[in-house]
Amino acid sequence: MIASVSRRLVFRMEHIAAASAAICMSASAHAQSSVTLYGSSSPSIAYVSNIAGNRSFRANSGEHRQDNFGFLGTEALGGGLQAIFRLEGAYFTQTGTQAVNGTLFNSEAYVGLKTHRGSVTLGRQTDYMYDYLSPVSNGVESQTYSNFHIGNLDHLGKGVQFNNAVKAEFEPVAGLTFGGLYGFGNVAGDMGQSSNLGAGIRYRYGPFQIAAAYANQHNVSLSTLTATIGIPRLLGQSIASATFDQESYGVGGTYSIGGWRLNALITGIHLTTISGSTSTNMHNVDVGLRYAFSPFHSVAVTYTRSTLLAFRWDQFGVADTYQLSKQTALYASIISQRAHGAGANAGILAAGGPSSSRLQTMVFAGIQHAF
């Protein structure tokens, strides 16, 4: 009888030990998973010299950095492999509305796998024009959305995403990163319609970085051109109702020495009617210089030239940023743009509308807080 009780006691102790081990393993697995809530709010007050012939005092959102909120998650799967996800939505602080109506996670929404040598993700994602070239642009270096290019056709200002995309990125050696993505059009019988593809490569070494990227899109709306510079028609098509095929490409880099940082960038956009009968090109050139007086205070001076058809736009900017803390900054900028060519109107990207003349100037100041 004593032996029987002893056997039952040993059996129960083994089950208790096994359950304890399972609980510990579960706790360990949970300890290796994380979900981070993050976001940014960047409201400002602006003066614009000319919008359709009138001066304007405006409340703007996302000028210093895109207003957004999101969730970023990782789970350790063992052997250096991680599951990752990101759900991010852009919004306007001044109104509380979504940047894309009806799409909650309009900036990014993806899930995938990652190792120290690369990642593969699926979902709504940015392309490599944004990932690799935006960081070397005047818009990012001056931390001023209005310093991105006319119509944001080259995707440098976050706002163009590829739906239904498969994206792969690799880092075979330290400093060298490259990748590609393909966005399915999801149109039965026509795999090419509304599909997108892209690729990019970037190299970083000490104070120097250089990057190049390419994107190909089908059935693209160019409504931002009308909103920015007032062009109603392009290549004989009504911009309000027509779509176009678009190729974007660019190369750029930065170099830092002491408190100085120089950036330079060239991008191009090839636009074609859906029939393929006519096409045109847009080109943008950025040159910028930023000086950090301290870890908290920096000033950037920028110049951008854009050309499309017989038009040319020259844009100059000065941006001042002062960090009150790691998460909060004050900023102020002045941007002036002049248009050239018969019938050309000036149109700074986030001014609120095209000028009725060749000149438009924008002055603004605001606060940005990240969490």
Cα–Cα nearest to 161, from 188, 185, 187, 183 = 183
Is residue 165 within 8 A of residue 180, CB to CB? The reply is no
CB hemisphere CA count around 42 (13 angstroms): 25
Distance separating alpha carbons of residues 24 and 26, to the nearest angstrom: 5
Distance separating alpha carbons of residues 121 and 113, to the nearest angstrom: 7
**Per-residue tokens: 121:** 């993700």
Is residue 240 within 8 A of residue 232, CB to CB? The reply is yes
- Structural domain boundaries enclosing 247: 32-370
The alpha carbon dihedral of 156, 43, 296, 86 has a sign of negative
The confidence score (pLDDT) of residue 194 equals: 82
Distance separating alpha carbons of residues 68 and 368, to the nearest angstrom: 12
- Total domains present in the chain: 1
Give the bridge partners for 288, in sequence order: 263, 302
11 located within any domain: no
278 located within any domain: yes
The confidence score (pLDDT) of residue 16 equals: 39
Is residue 251 within 8 A of residue 263, CB to CB? The reply is no
Helix (H) or strand (E) holding 55: strand 54-61
Each of the 371 residues of the chain gets a pLDDT tens digit; together they read 434 434 443 334 344 344 444 434 444 444 489 999 999 999 999 999 999 999 999 999 999 989 999 999 999 999 999 999 999 999 999 999 999 888 999 999 999 999 999 999 999 999 999 999 999 999 999 999 999 999 999 999 987 899 999 999 999 999 999 999 999 988 887 877 888 999 999 999 999 999 999 999 999 999 888 888 888 899 999 998 899 999 999 999 999 999 999 999 999 999 999 998 999 999 999 999 999 999 999 999 999 999 999 999 999 999 999 999 999 999 999 999 999 999 999 999 999 999 999 999 999 999 999 99
The confidence score (pLDDT) of residue 205 equals: 97
**Per-residue tokens: 310:** 């017989």
Is residue 66 within 8 A of residue 158, CB to CB? The reply is yes
Give the bridge partners for 205, in sequence order: 208
Task: Tell me the backbone φ, ψ of residue 316, rounded to 5 degrees.
Answer: -115, 145
97 located within any domain: yes
168 located within any domain: yes
- Taking the model in full, what pTM does it have? 0.88
The confidence score (pLDDT) of residue 32 equals: 85
The residue type at 170:
F
22 located within any domain: no
The confidence score (pLDDT) of residue 193 equals: 81
256 located within any domain: yes
CATH code of the domain covering residue 145:
2.40.160.10
**Per-residue tokens: 263:** 């950036």
123 located within any domain: yes
